[in-house]
A and B are shown apart, each in its own frame.
Chain A
Amino acid sequence: MPRIGVFVCHCGENIGRTVDCARVARELGELPGVAHAVDYKYMCSDPGQRLVKQAIAEKGLDGVVVAACSPRMHERTFRRACSASGLNPYLCEMANIREHCSWIHEDRQAATAKAIDLTRAIVEKVKRNRPLEPIRIPVEKRALVIGGGIAGIQAALDIAEGGGEVVLVEKEPSIGGHMSQLSETFPTLDCSQCILTPRMVEVYQHPRIKLLAFSEVEAVGGYIGNFEVKIRRKARCVDETKCNGCGECQSVCPNKKVPSEFDQELGRRTAIYVPFPQAVPNIPVLDRESCALFKGRAKGFKEDACGKCKQACGREAIDFEQQDSFVTEKVGAIVVATGFQLYSIGKDQPTPQLKGYGEYGYGEIPDVIDGLQFERLASASGPTGGVIKRPSDGKEPKTIVFLQCIGSRDAAKGIEYCSKICCMYVAKHTMLYRHKVHDGRAYVFYMDIRAAGKGYDEFTRRAIEKEGAIYLRGRVSKLERAGDVIKVYGADTLSGEPVTIDADMVVLATAVRPQPGIESLAQKLSISYDAHGFINEAHPKLRPVETSTAGVFVAGACQAPRDIPDSVAMASAAATKVLGLFSNKELEREPTVATVNESLCTGCFHCERVCPYGAVERRELKDGEGNLNKVAAHVNKGVCQGCGTCQATCPSKSVELQGFTDEQIWAAINAL
């Protein structure tokens, strides 16, 4: 017969007032298998815990039930007390007779009866508890950072500075991300590149950072402390080990008319190119779709149509035959910092939920551009050298209309959320514009101004009050080309008047969306994401940089629209989490994970289908002679988080969640 000890807590008056604790102890004491039952004023106090310890020692208890407050409050306390007296902590559980009983009932008789029931159910459960040992997992002290924008750069540097090794994966040819495209940054108007490029170089030179640019994550296996990541290194057609970034190849490339992605297609580049002069790594990429040689090969030409770059390269770094290659990296933690893209307002949208704007003529009227394009126009390193010229004819625009909330906060367009950064950058744009075109008129159509942040409200007020931007509260219904100008039909909802402005250029503050492909990356990582594709944090308040998968963290605008300081703060926070994880030799995990009874497993793999973590593996079972007997499920203890969905799904109940086994729950129900 089991020897369970039952300890009923009065919690001062908290329980004792409505529950007859002495009676609970007395009745539980009558149960077969209960070797000891007492009540006490404060079980969690030192003397209370001593009662538990003494009883374990003196009565030889093999299970402890503390009927007191919520297990969320003191389960650890009592488990530790049990552990200290040599009883496996998992043989101790709590019955919640405070939050679930004494505090919510007044009828003493009913509350006492309920307390007895609740405690009895836990006693019956504990009779079937098994001693469990924490799971220990070794930790690979190396992190993968996905995305080389400001968030990824910051996370990589912080982790590396903290002593960890980092593999930084960037899908573009250079790190730097959107920040490298910006002209100046709000609210200080300091030069974006000036503050960013040194960080980029630091990354490149850091002995503990391995930079894999022009690469993408192909597959992720393993679990916290022990991920195995397969990375696709896309073919640059340039041997990175040979190239010294001299730029000869670019200067000889005959195709100089390729729209530059970095300049948001406002500028041009060559077919073999470095996206921008400060690129890190400073190694060109050959854009095969624009290259005459590859275009010729695609058409089946016998001889290569070009090859100038190869001839020009003194280091024989050009390799037209280069193929994508794969590397596998073992890492202990992953930081996702894939950043954002701008909502494209055209009619064609990637998902049916998103709707475009036909009425703004984006893509049709060349002088209707988006915010990022304006950044390039305003940038000293941009296609116009920082002179504001409109794309259609290069004329200096005298009137620019800025439209806020394009897509954002518009459920009809499929984006209910606020993109957070637009109010600020539009204010910045008006200032940049007015600094460059002193007589220019900057109109802003806005819905509200959201400028919460240090120095933010001051900044927008400065744009309006000191820098002469004209803010009109209202929506624009239509943009129409009329000769040299763009007719902006809007409404000023404050005055109630319709407004029509003849603009030379219109800048749309389009919504911030997560990067394309984020869903498939999230699926590879088994992390969850919201309806828009933004990565879900583990808890919106308390675990803002963790994800649903242990060991995978999130930073920057891939989690939600973020400005630079937010992104950097998140990145540092994620880095701290990573370093915290790395500070352990081994991880200790709760042993409440699922285990499969392989002899009963039928191998239908319903469990595999429902496991949110991909913790179920297929294991071949062989007989003595090595013949395959069957394929059974096996749960990877490092990956399993203990939700138990597998067990409820398993038709034959051949998988058991430790701590919540069928026997335990059956016993609890049986006792109610």
Chain B
Amino acid sequence: MKELRQIAAKLLTDGAVKVVIGWEEGPRGARAAFVTRPEDAERLIFDARCVQNLATYLSPRRRHVVGLGKAAVVAKPCDAKAIAGLIRESQVKREDVVILGVRCGGVVREPTMPASLTAETVADRCGICETREPTLYDHLIGEPQPEPPRVTRREEQIAALMQKTPQERFAFWSQQLERCIRCHACREVCPMCFCEQCVADKTRPVWIESSSHPRANFAWQMTRVMHQAGRCVDCGECERACPVGIPLNLLTRYTAQSVEKRFGHKPSDDPSIAAPIGTFRSDDSQEFIR
């Protein structure tokens, strides 16, 4: 933490960056901090409650953040994957961001939880995460971290769901999506959802209706997940943001599993590795095609 604060303060003092985006203590646990003065670097923290993916703030559509000037951002391995995604897809230039990579031993499910990691408290995604430190960084901070407690709740849930019949799955998602109010919080928090205008907001034509009836909710989630295929960094923010508690990570994770199985692709923090949709191999498997 000391190292982090020192580097942040130095970057600000030297004028190398205008803002350091990191985490701070908030009324309800760790949350994003925007530090613009060296003396405020003391506010920065990093522990297992630093759940949020800060790469979201690098989107050029965040005009109020862009307006602060060149940014340094504290990045866990999964955040770094999102930053790599932004670079890969021409949203951010590598030289325009200073990445303060932090070694990470997993985070808790909610930033309001205590910072201790147990099988109970660890975030589902961290339970299977194998990356302890990012490879995309300008500074790498912190001590090597132990493995987080290994949990596969989510994977088991997915497996169980896939054991069911399509009709049962349809019923499951109908029930879940019945609650969806189409606030699009899942989109707004997603570091990889950065479109100038989302296809769900397109009016000519309206592919995805904005009303929150199940028909439109199905269309929305299928499309969102489709667009995330091979791009999702599994930061879990969509599900965490959902005010009605829809288990969205079951969808994103299942899609990631499929993409990995089919194309051998896992999201990485190497910006030069292209996402699998948008590229192809002439010998891609096509067992589903008659």
Contact = CB atoms under 8 A, between A and B. Distances in A.
Interface of A: 599-606, 609-610, 630-631, 649, 651-654, 662-663, 666-667
B279 interface: yes
A651 B195 contact: yes
A103 B141 CA distance: 72
B73 to A, nearest CB: 20
B256 to A, nearest CB: 17
A654 B89 CA distance: 15
B196 A653 contact: no
Nearest to A609: B278
B202 A653 contact: yes
21 contacts: A600-B196, A600-B197, A601-B196, A602-B61, A602-B194, A603-B90, A603-B91, A604-B89, A604-B195, A605-B89, A606-B89, A606-B278, A649-B278, A653-B199, A653-B202, A662-B204, A662-B205, A662-B207, A663-B205, A666-B205, A667-B205
Contacts of B196: 599-602, 652, 654
B289 interface: no
B69 to A, nearest CB: 14
B207 A653 contact: yes
Contacts, number: 52
B105 to A, nearest CB: 33
Given A652-B196, A666-B207, 20 more contacts: A600-B196, A601-B196, A602-B61, A602-B195, A603-B90, A604-B89, A604-B90, A604-B91, A604-B194, A605-B89, A605-B90, A609-B274, A609-B278, A630-B60, A649-B278, A651-B199, A652-B198, A652-B202, A653-B207, A663-B204
A662 B198 CA distance: 15
Nearest to A607: B278
Contacts of A654: 196-197
Nearest to A128: B205
B110 to A, nearest CB: 30
B227 interface: yes
Nearest to B60: A630
Nearest to A633: B90
B9 to A, nearest CB: 31
Interface in B26-54: none
Max count, chain A CB within 10 A of own CB: residue among B89, B90, B227, B274: B90
Nearest to A603: B90
Nearest to B59: A602
A429 B202 CA distance: 71
A599 B279 CA distance: 26
A667 B206 CA distance: 10
Interface size class of B (residues with CB under 8 A): 20 to 34
Contacts of B61: 602
The B interface, classified by DSSP as helix, strand, loop or mixed, is loop
Nearest to A651: B227
A655 to B, nearest CB: 12
For B60, B89, B277, the residue with the greatest tally of chain A CB atoms inside 10 Å of its CB is B89
A610 B275 CA distance: 12
Contacts of B205: 662-663, 666-667
A605 B91 CA distance: 10
B54 to A, nearest CB: 20
Nearest to B279: A609
B180 to A, nearest CB: 20
Nearest to A610: B278
Contact of B199 (A609, A630, A652, A667): A652
Shortest Cβ-Cβ A-B pairs, 6 listed: A666-B205, A652-B195, A604-B89, A602-B196, A609-B278, A663-B205
Contacts of B277: 649
B126 to A, nearest CB: 28
Contacts of A600: 196-197
Contacts of B194: 602, 604
A651 B207 CA distance: 12
Nearest to B274: A609
A613 B43 CA distance: 52
A621 to B, nearest CB: 11
A9 to B, nearest CB: 30
Contacts of A666: 205-207
Contacts of A602: 61, 91, 194-196
A658 to B, nearest CB: 14
**Best-surrounded residue of A651, A653, A666, A667 (most CB of chain B within 10 A):** A651
A599 B195 CA distance: 11
Interface in B239-278: 274, 277-278
Contacts of B89: 604-606
Interface string B53-97: 000000011000000000000000000000000000111000000
A148 to B, nearest CB: 31
Interface string B192-216: 0011111100101111000000000
Contacts of A652: 195-199, 202
Interface string B220-248: 00000001000000000000000000000
A610 B196 CA distance: 20
Q: Most chain-B CB neighbours within 10 Å: which of A602, A663, A666?
A: A602
Contacts of A631: 90
A652 B193 CA distance: 10
Contacts of B274: 609
A573 to B, nearest CB: 28
A515 B89 CA distance: 36
A609 B89 CA distance: 10
Contacts of B197: 600, 652, 654
A605 B88 CA distance: 9
B90 to A, nearest CB: 5
Nearest to B205: A666
Contacts of B199: 651-653
A597 B233 CA distance: 28
A610 B276 CA distance: 11
A628 to B, nearest CB: 11
Contacts of A610: 278
A596 to B, nearest CB: 12
Contacts of A601: 196
Nearest to A664: B205
A600 B202 CA distance: 10
Contacts of B207: 653, 662, 666
A622 to B, nearest CB: 15
Nearest to B223: A651
A647 to B, nearest CB: 11
Nearest to B228: A651
A652 B207 CA distance: 11
B35 to A, nearest CB: 26
Contacts of A605: 89-90
Contacts of A603: 90-91
A602 B195 CA distance: 5
Contacts of A604: 89-91, 194-195
Contacts of A606: 89, 278
B156 to A, nearest CB: 31
A606 B275 CA distance: 10
Contacts of B198: 652
A651 B198 CA distance: 8
A605 B199 CA distance: 16
A603 B93 CA distance: 12
Residue among B197, B206, B227 with most chain A CB within 10 A: B197
Nearest to B198: A652
Nearest to B204: A663
A604 B86 CA distance: 9
Nearest to A630: B60
A631 B194 CA distance: 14
Nearest to B196: A602
Which of A605, A609, A652 gathers most chain B CB within 10 Å? A652
A630 B63 CA distance: 12
A605 B86 CA distance: 12
B45 to A, nearest CB: 33
Contacts of A609: 274, 278-279
B192 to A, nearest CB: 10
Contacts of B278: 606, 609-610, 649
A72 to B, nearest CB: 24
